[in-house]
Amino acid sequence: MLMNLLFGLLTMIACLLLQSVLVIAAIRYYWQHERSPNNPSFWSSGVLITGVMLLLVIGNMAQVGVWALLFVLLEEFQQFGEAFYHSAVNFATLGYGDVVMSAKRKLLGPLEAINGALMIGVSTAALISIFQQVIQTTARTRRR
Protein backbone atom coordinates (compact mmCIF):
# COMPACT_ATOMS: atom_id res chain seq x y z
CA MET A 1 0.00 0.00 0.00
CA LEU A 2 2.83 2.43 0.79
CA MET A 3 4.36 1.87 -2.66
CA ASN A 4 1.02 2.65 -4.28
CA LEU A 5 0.77 5.81 -2.22
CA LEU A 6 4.30 6.78 -3.29
CA PHE A 7 3.56 6.04 -6.98
CA GLY A 8 0.32 7.98 -6.74
CA LEU A 9 1.84 11.01 -5.01
CA LEU A 10 4.74 11.18 -7.46
CA THR A 11 2.30 10.98 -10.36
CA MET A 12 0.16 13.70 -8.78
CA ILE A 13 3.23 15.94 -8.49
CA ALA A 14 4.11 15.30 -12.15
CA CYS A 15 0.53 16.16 -13.12
CA LEU A 16 0.58 19.31 -11.01
CA LEU A 17 3.75 20.46 -12.76
CA LEU A 18 2.25 19.65 -16.16
CA GLN A 19 -0.96 21.50 -15.27
CA SER A 20 1.02 24.50 -14.06
CA VAL A 21 2.94 24.69 -17.34
CA LEU A 22 -0.22 24.49 -19.43
CA VAL A 23 -2.16 27.00 -17.32
CA ILE A 24 0.77 29.41 -17.66
CA ALA A 25 0.80 28.74 -21.43
CA ALA A 26 -2.96 29.41 -21.59
CA ILE A 27 -2.60 32.66 -19.65
CA ARG A 28 0.31 33.78 -21.85
CA TYR A 29 -1.69 32.92 -24.95
CA TYR A 30 -4.51 35.05 -23.60
CA TRP A 31 -2.22 37.99 -22.77
CA GLN A 32 -0.56 37.91 -26.19
CA HIS A 33 -3.85 37.85 -28.08
CA GLU A 34 -5.84 40.05 -25.71
CA ARG A 35 -3.56 43.03 -26.26
CA SER A 36 -3.68 42.92 -30.05
CA PRO A 37 -7.20 44.11 -30.95
CA ASN A 38 -8.31 47.57 -29.88
CA ASN A 39 -11.93 46.67 -30.47
CA PRO A 40 -12.42 42.96 -29.78
CA SER A 41 -15.05 41.39 -31.98
CA PHE A 42 -17.28 38.47 -31.13
CA TRP A 43 -15.15 36.23 -33.35
CA SER A 44 -11.77 37.34 -32.00
CA SER A 45 -13.03 36.81 -28.45
CA GLY A 46 -14.36 33.39 -29.45
CA VAL A 47 -11.05 32.38 -31.03
CA LEU A 48 -9.19 33.61 -27.96
CA ILE A 49 -11.34 31.64 -25.53
CA THR A 50 -11.26 28.55 -27.77
CA GLY A 51 -7.46 28.65 -27.81
CA VAL A 52 -7.34 28.86 -24.03
CA MET A 53 -9.83 26.00 -23.67
CA LEU A 54 -7.83 23.82 -26.07
CA LEU A 55 -4.64 24.35 -24.07
CA LEU A 56 -6.44 23.44 -20.84
CA VAL A 57 -8.06 20.33 -22.36
CA ILE A 58 -4.69 19.23 -23.78
CA GLY A 59 -3.25 19.60 -20.28
CA ASN A 60 -5.96 17.47 -18.71
CA MET A 61 -5.72 14.82 -21.43
CA ALA A 62 -1.94 14.70 -21.03
CA GLN A 63 -2.44 14.03 -17.33
CA VAL A 64 -4.83 11.19 -18.13
CA GLY A 65 -2.02 9.84 -20.32
CA VAL A 66 0.52 10.12 -17.50
CA TRP A 67 -1.72 8.06 -15.22
CA ALA A 68 -2.38 5.56 -18.02
CA LEU A 69 1.35 5.16 -18.55
CA LEU A 70 1.79 4.47 -14.84
CA PHE A 71 -0.91 1.77 -15.02
CA VAL A 72 0.82 0.12 -17.99
CA LEU A 73 4.24 0.30 -16.30
CA LEU A 74 2.75 -1.33 -13.20
CA GLU A 75 1.34 -4.04 -15.52
CA GLU A 76 -2.25 -3.32 -14.59
CA PHE A 77 -3.12 -3.08 -18.28
CA GLN A 78 -1.49 -4.61 -21.34
CA GLN A 79 -2.93 -2.10 -23.82
CA PHE A 80 -2.36 1.63 -23.47
CA GLY A 81 -5.82 2.33 -24.91
CA GLU A 82 -7.55 0.41 -22.16
CA ALA A 83 -5.35 2.05 -19.53
CA PHE A 84 -6.16 5.47 -21.03
CA TYR A 85 -9.90 4.76 -20.92
CA HIS A 86 -9.69 3.59 -17.31
CA SER A 87 -7.57 6.60 -16.43
CA ALA A 88 -10.02 9.02 -18.07
CA VAL A 89 -12.89 7.51 -16.08
CA ASN A 90 -10.90 7.90 -12.85
CA PHE A 91 -9.64 11.40 -13.67
CA ALA A 92 -13.14 12.65 -14.45
CA THR A 93 -14.41 10.96 -11.25
CA LEU A 94 -17.01 9.00 -13.24
CA GLY A 95 -16.24 5.63 -11.65
CA TYR A 96 -18.08 3.42 -14.15
CA GLY A 97 -16.55 0.25 -12.72
CA ASP A 98 -16.55 -1.57 -16.06
CA VAL A 99 -12.73 -1.73 -16.09
CA VAL A 100 -11.02 -2.09 -12.74
CA MET A 101 -7.50 -2.55 -11.45
CA SER A 102 -6.34 -5.39 -9.29
CA ALA A 103 -6.86 -5.28 -5.55
CA LYS A 104 -3.11 -4.74 -5.23
CA ARG A 105 -3.30 -1.36 -7.00
CA LYS A 106 -6.82 -0.20 -6.21
CA LEU A 107 -5.59 2.78 -4.13
CA LEU A 108 -4.35 4.42 -7.33
CA GLY A 109 -7.92 4.93 -8.59
CA PRO A 110 -9.03 7.28 -5.79
CA LEU A 111 -5.70 9.09 -5.91
CA GLU A 112 -6.20 9.78 -9.61
CA ALA A 113 -9.78 10.89 -8.95
CA ILE A 114 -8.56 13.37 -6.32
CA ASN A 115 -5.92 14.58 -8.77
CA GLY A 116 -8.46 14.89 -11.57
CA ALA A 117 -10.99 16.81 -9.48
CA LEU A 118 -8.28 19.23 -8.39
CA MET A 119 -6.81 19.71 -11.87
CA ILE A 120 -10.19 20.13 -13.56
CA GLY A 121 -10.95 22.69 -10.85
CA VAL A 122 -7.73 24.55 -11.63
CA SER A 123 -8.60 24.53 -15.34
CA THR A 124 -12.09 25.81 -14.59
CA ALA A 125 -10.75 28.60 -12.38
CA ALA A 126 -8.29 29.71 -15.07
CA LEU A 127 -10.98 29.62 -17.74
CA ILE A 128 -13.49 31.58 -15.62
CA SER A 129 -10.85 34.20 -14.88
CA ILE A 130 -10.15 34.60 -18.58
CA PHE A 131 -13.89 34.75 -19.36
CA GLN A 132 -14.18 37.58 -16.84
CA GLN A 133 -11.26 39.42 -18.45
CA VAL A 134 -12.76 39.07 -21.93
CA ILE A 135 -16.14 40.33 -20.71
CA GLN A 136 -14.55 43.31 -18.93
CA THR A 137 -12.40 44.19 -21.95
CA THR A 138 -15.37 43.95 -24.29
CA ALA A 139 -17.52 46.08 -21.99
CA ARG A 140 -14.79 48.74 -21.69
CA THR A 141 -14.31 49.01 -25.45
CA ARG A 142 -18.07 49.17 -26.09
CA ARG A 143 -18.45 52.14 -23.70
CA ARG A 144 -15.89 54.25 -25.56
Number of C-beta neighbours around residue 51 at 10 A: 15
DSSP states of 72-96 as a string? HHTTS-SSHHHHHHHHHHHHTT---
Mean of pLDDT over the chain: 90
Which range of residues forms the domain containing residue 61? 2-143
Is this model's pTM higher than 0.75 or not?
Answer: yes
Q: pLDDT at position 17, please?
A: 96
For 96-114, what is each residue's pLDDT tens digit? 889 889 999 999 999 999 9
For 124-134, what is each residue's pLDDT tens digit? 999 999 889 88
* Torsion from C-alpha of 109, 112, 118, 122, nearest 10 degrees: -140
* 111 in Cβ contact with 13 (< 8 Å): no
Number of domains in the chain: 1
Listed in sequence order, the residues at least 6 apart from 96 whose beta carbon sits closer than 8 Å to its beta carbon are 89
